[in-house]
Amino acid sequence: MTTTTGKVLLAAPRGYCAGVDRAVVTVEKALDVHGAPVYVRKQIVHNKHVVETLEKRGVIFVEELSEVPEGSLVVFSAHGVSPAVHAEAVERNLKTIDATCPLVTKVHNEAKRFAKDGYKIILIGHEGHEEVEGTMGEAPDNMVLIDGLDQVEKLEVKEGEKIAWLSQTTLSVDETLETVHALKKKLPILMDPPSDDICYATQNRQAAVKNIAPKVDVLIVVGSSNSSNSVRLVDVALEAGVKKSFRVDSESELKKEWFEGAKSVGLTSGASVPEELVDGVLVWLNKNGFGDVEEVETIEEHITFSLPVEIRKDLKAAGKA
């Protein structure tokens, strides 16, 4: 019989952030009020399990609005969309519910303000990510993307040009600060955003990982491969001192050889991961010798967001508010 004397340090906070919870609940409420199918442009959040669960309830995920029948209901994902997507929805007579995370909307508003004031905007983010595409769509003529520190030196700026920076909300805090430092060295007049763009949940989950990583032999991150904040947590763990860190969608992807010789395991999850997936990993760890679980709280979270105005109106009209 496997002994269960190995230690598990369970990071807190972990899992769902307020923006993800809001987006998932929005789709669930849309199904309750309108019935299936409900269309969602892109993945509502970047988690394989969440997407598959919603698909079983009748959600149809599409890449573009052209795949949605005219006049249908479509939900915009938590990552946000560009003004061009909103305009296309109007043209195709689609009923829309905008589940964009309010913290992403904040970055969109900052982009519009900087563009209106004549600034060139440097957006720090990952090329091809939905959030980046949506943000850049707010001011395409004023914005340039920097995806990595190595691109800073290649940046060309006109003399006397007003310049500001913004960032994707789910980046590594340390890597972003390093990029900003390099930008300010090159561009001393660089204007900061009015407030930090990296979301509270991303920062808090990274802080929690930094806290436990030096104390464990292996650190597991539960999250999907297309989840930027989940992937970053692996990097943060390794930089914080843990020798081995792995990302898994669920316990089915865990491998016994990762834990050979280990006496302690750290466990966390990305901001779009439901707690049931973490529970599954804990069960697996318990069966494989790691049954002593201690939750380590680094920061308390109390942030919540109200549902989008469109679904609140629908719920009220249906008597389900």
**Is beta strand 38-41 parallel, antiparallel or unpaired with respect to 59-62?**
parallel
CA-CA distance, 44 to 54, in Å (whole number)? 9
Helix ranges (H only) for 92-172 are 102-116, 130-136
The CA-CA-CA angle for residues 55, 74, 112, to 5°, reads 125
Here the tokens at position 313 are 């109106």
Q: Which residues contact 70 (CB under 8 A, 6 or more apart)?
A: 92, 93, 94
Half-sphere exposure of 295 (CA within 13 A, CB side): 9
Q: Which residues of 94-129 are buried (b: 16+ CB within 10 A; e: fewer)?
A: bebbbbbbebbebbbebbebbbeeebbbbbbbeeeb
Distance spanning both ends of the chain, measured CA to CA: 52
Bond from prior residue into 140 cis (ω within 30 degrees of 0): no
- Is-catalytic flag, 131? yes
Asked if residues 46 and 226 have their Cβ atoms less than 8 Å apart, the reply is yes
Angstrom CA distances, 251 to 220, 279, 293, 321, stand at 10, 9, 16, 37
Strands (E) located in 119-162: 120-124, 143-146
- For residue 167, the surrounding DSSP H or E stretch is strand 163-167
Tell me, what amino acid is at 33?
V
Q: Which of 131, 133, 138, 251 is catalytic?
A: 131
Q: Is the backbone peptide bond immediately before 37 cis, with ω within 30 degrees of 0?
A: yes
- Sign, CA dihedral 272-273-275-276, equals positive
How many residues can be counted in the chain?
321
Active site residues per annotation = 131
